[in-house]
Amino acid sequence: MGSILLVEADPVTSDQWASALRDAGHAIVQVHMSREVLPVILEGGIDAVVLDAYDPRIGITDLAKKIAALPDAPPLVLISGSPFAPEISARIGAAAFLVKPCEPAEVVAVANRLVGDVRPVRIIEDDPTGRSRSQI
């Protein structure tokens, strides 16, 4: 499966979601604050970001722009109980949105769907005649 960056301030909820994701076969990196997201993504190996935002009006749009600007940016899942969250989720181009409270199984289902998505890969093969072939 994939490597999921889980951002959840509440340690109990974070542990519940992380446990369910691990049981589904995912590797989990847990952080508790959104300011920790970019350094972890820059280390590499993150396939998706699951972000709980109590109030997504504060900093989420900027964070989403910074993530999107990265090479091979992982998809973002926004989770929030805020009435502003669905609109913000659409505006930032989140790959998925879950209304909080949500069950760990819902988080797993979204992660499974995203990590199962195939990203285009460019392969360039050189044959002995000097011609190169590009596939997407």
**pLDDT tens-digit map of 74-130:** 999 999 999 999 999 999 999 999 999 999 999 999 999 999 644 444 444 555 555
User: Phi first, then psi: what are they for 84, rounded to 5°?
Assistant: -85, -15
DSSP state of 136: -
Residue 43 contacts residue 69 (beta carbons within 8 Å) = no
Verdict on whether the full-model pTM lies above 0.85: no
pLDDT of residue 55: 67
Q: What number is the average pLDDT over the span 24-33? A: 93
| Percent of the chain residues past pLDDT 70, beyond the cut | 82
Number of domains comprising the chain: 1
- Domain containing 37: what range? 3-135
Residues forming beta bridges with residue 37, ordered by sequence position: none
Q: What number is the average pLDDT over the span 62-74? A: 91
CATH number of the domain bearing residue 46: 3.40.50.2300
Give the Cα separation of 113 and 109 in Å (integer).
6
| Dihedral-angle region of residue 74 (phi above 0 means left; psi in -120 to 50 means alpha; beta otherwise) | beta
Q: What number is the average pLDDT over the span 24-36? A: 91
* Distance from the Cα of residue 106 to its chain's centroid: 14
Q: What number is the average pLDDT over the span 7-29? A: 94
